[in-house]
Every structure is written in C-alpha cells, then in structure tokens.
Structure 1
Amino acid sequence: MSAIDIGNLAYLGLLLAALGGYLFVSNRDRLGQMARHALLWALIFVAVIAGIGLWDQISQTIRPSQTLAADGTEITLPRQADGHYYARLTVNGVEIPFLVDTGATDVVLTRDAARAVGIDLGRLVFSGRAGTANGTVRTAPVRLDSVTLGGVTDHDLRAMVNDGDLDMPLLGMAYLSRFSHIEITGGALKLTR
C-alpha cells in the first residue's frame, strides 16, 4: 500500500468519523432509531457488494447462455426471454451473436457484421434478392473462411450479406442442416454434430 493510499484511507476515515459524530450529537435523544437506520444502511451496502461479487452467477440464472458438452459436439442454446434462441459464433476469428432462424435459408450477415469479420463491403455485388418480413431486400453472396460454434468448425461456408435493415445476423437452415440432430427440449435448442 503506497503513502497516497494510506493518506486517502486516513482522509476517508476522518470524513466518516466527522459524519458519524455529527449524526450522534444531533440524534442523541433518538439513539435506538439511529442505530436501526445505520444497521439498515449497512445491510443494504453489504447486499449491493454481494450482488456485484455474485453477478456472473446471477446473470447466468437470469439470462442463461449457450453451453458446450465435454466432447465439444453438442451445443445447447437456452431460449431467451423473448422466446428466441441466440448463438455466439466465431466467424473469421471474430465472435458474432446470431439469431437462430429456421425460417431463413442461409447464414445472413448484417453489413456491420460483414465489416467486422473482414469482408470488404465496397467489393460486394448485391445481385440476389430475399423475401423478408419487411419486404424484399438485396443480398450479396460471400464465403466465410471459418465459422466455429462451440467445438465445431466449418470452413469455406457460403453466406449472404443483407443490404436491408437487419437487427442482427441470422443463422439459417444452410448452417443448421450441418448438424446430425436438432432438438428443442426443456426450453433449450440442442445441436449435435
């Protein structure tokens, strides 16, 4: 601990002592009530510190994330509060969140996701068309060098870049059909390779 840290602690100790002394003197006729309030605030402080320390476990319970079986070939995607399944894939070395969409034919990237994985948007040719809930959009075919989900990696995967307003990339049937078994059970989507 440096001299500056010791000085800061001493300053905070004096400040706390001055504040406590003021409260004691100004409330000496209601010491029991003041003690209850002090205890209540101390418990609130401890609860906040405990919540911060346990946040990783709490957030996993509140918002579960994908898990991987020991052998790396079974990926479990829990259903989220909005009723959808989301997967985190590593595309060309960059982690990208995807919405699992069994109604989508292809793996579909947003422009931002395509840029993030190293695709030069200026060289894309938007020659295709796709029907979406928001109407028809232009698409550009691309090849992804590597796509990893859990312990499973695919190379030279065909995908599309969407030229419309798409909130997040879609993981469509062209990718999902690479798995030997797809099962929805117990509020989770299980993919087995």
Structure 2
Amino acid sequence: MSETDHSKKMGKTMMWIAWGLFFALMIWFFQGALDKQHNPNQRPQLNLTQDGKNEVTLKRNRYGHYLSPGNINGSEVLFLLDTGATNVSIPANVAQDLNLPVLGTHYVQTANGSVKVQRTEIEQLSIGNIILYNVAANINPGMDTAEILLGMSALKQLEFKQSGQYLTLTEQY
C-alpha cells in the first residue's frame, strides 16, 4: 500500500470518527432537551408560605401532566400526579426495589379494567419540602413504568392550586 493510499484511508477513518462524535453529541444534547420536556420539574420550585407552610410548584409537561421527583422511605422516585387515582399506585418492580410490605390484596378499577393489587403503606413520602406520613398505597403488577401515580391518598393531605401551566402543592396542618 502506498503512502498516498494509507493517508486517504486514514483520512476517511478520521472523517467517520468525526461524524460519529458529532452524532453522539447531537443525541446527548437532544436527549437532555427531550428529558426536560417530559419532566420539566427535575428540580421543583420550593417555597415557604407566609404562615410557614411548605409549598412546591410544578410545571406541566408537554403532555399536560405534572411529574415530580420525590422520595419514598428515603429512596428517590418519580411521581406522576393523578387526581383520578384513589391511592398512590406503585409498579410492582418499583415496590420490590423499595422493599414495601404487602398488607393484603384487593381489586381496583382502573382505566384498563379491574386489576388485583396488593395493599401497602408508605411510612414517609416526600415531594420537595413537603413530607407525608403513613400514606395508603397499592402495588400494581400491571404497571410497566417506573413512574408512581400519586393518587388522592397523598393529594388529599395537600392543598393544590392550578394557574396556567403551574400547579402549586401546599401542605396542610
């Protein structure tokens, strides 16, 4: 192989590497933008009201949902607020990772029909600076997502106010 042929081959290889790096950077950049569109509340706005109550303000995502990072018994989770759910609903694989106790089984009505779930109780649930204790929850084997539906067993303990694309959650005493 001549020196010219070797230089051309090396040049083509470098060009492919440059294009590969360019595409990798573009994917990394756009994935971050997509993640922010899916969950614009990766760091929710925390406030303290004039009367000393903790408050969290969430922005609606591009699909019209409110997502928020939070904690269950000290472990990080992702909540999807769902006022149509009676209880907090946890996918079975997430509940197993959280080591939640099973306190019995029962059937619930979901948008997909009747589902047999396991009853559990969350000792401590937090969203931002709001902490709730002893929250009723269901372990749902039919959920195939990592998002936990934050139902009314938690939300009824909060005041919530929607204004435009923002939802403000305030703790009650």
TM-score scaled to structure 2, two decimals? Answer: 0.69
Rounded to whole Å, the distance in 1 between the matches of 2:58 and 2:80 is: 11
Work out whether residues 108 and 161 of structure 1, in 8 Å CA contact, stay in contact via their aligned partners in 2: yes
Q: Secondary structure at the match of 1:174?
A: helix
For residues 160-179 of structure 1, the aligned pairs below 5 Å read 160-167=138-145, 168-179=147-158
Aligned residue in 2 for 1:13: none
* Identity in percent: 29
Work out whether residues 68 and 151 of structure 1, in 8 Å CA contact, stay in contact via their aligned partners in 2: no
Work out whether residues 132 and 154 of structure 2, in 8 Å CA contact, stay in contact via their aligned partners in 1: no
Aligned residue in 2 for 1:83: 64
Relative distance call for 1:60 and 1:75 in structure 2 (3 A) is farther
The letter for the 1-side match of 2:60 is: R
Cα distance, 1:69 vs. partner? 2.5
The letter for the 1-side match of 2:70 is: L
Greater CA radius of gyration, 1 or 2?
1
Higher fraction of helix: 1
Rounded to whole Å, the distance in 2 between the matches of 1:148 and 1:96 is: 10
Work out whether residues 140 and 161 of structure 1, in 8 Å CA contact, stay in contact via their aligned partners in 2: yes
Rounded to whole Å, the distance in 2 between the matches of 1:132 and 1:98 is: 18
Relative distance call for 1:132 and 1:69 in structure 2 (3 A) is same
Work out whether residues 93 and 117 of structure 1, in 8 Å CA contact, stay in contact via their aligned partners in 2: no
Relative distance call for 1:108 and 1:60 in structure 2 (3 A) is closer
Rounded to whole Å, the distance in 2 between the matches of 1:172 and 1:83 is: 17
Q: Gaps (5+ residues) in structure 2?
A: 1-6, 12-17
Rounded to whole Å, the distance in 2 between the matches of 1:132 and 1:175 is: 18
Cα distance, 1:171 vs. partner? 0.6
**2:76 corresponds to which of 77, 89, 95:** 95
**1:73 corresponds to which of 34, 54, 57:** 54
Aligned residue in 2 for 1:8: none
Rounded to whole Å, the distance in 2 between the matches of 1:124 and 1:192 is: 30
Q: Gaps (5+ residues) in structure 1?
A: 1-17, 23-40
Higher fraction of strand: 2
Cα distance, 1:151 vs. partner? 0.7
Cα distance, 1:68 vs. partner? 2.7
Aligned residue in 2 for 1:125: 104
Rounded to whole Å, the distance in 2 between the matches of 1:166 and 1:100 is: 17
Relative distance call for 1:137 and 1:191 in structure 2 (3 A) is same
Work out whether residues 94 and 116 of structure 1, in 8 Å CA contact, stay in contact via their aligned partners in 2: no
Aligned residue in 2 for 1:155: 133
TM-score scaled to structure 1, two decimals? Answer: 0.63
Does residue 190 of structure 1 match 2:171?
Answer: no
Rounded to whole Å, the distance in 1 between the matches of 2:155 and 2:138 is: 15
Cα distance, 1:166 vs. partner? 4.7
Rounded to whole Å, the distance in 2 between the matches of 1:101 and 1:108 is: 9
Deviations 1:35-91 (A, max 9, x none): xxxxxx9xxx8xx98xx89x97x6797552152324271111211122211122200
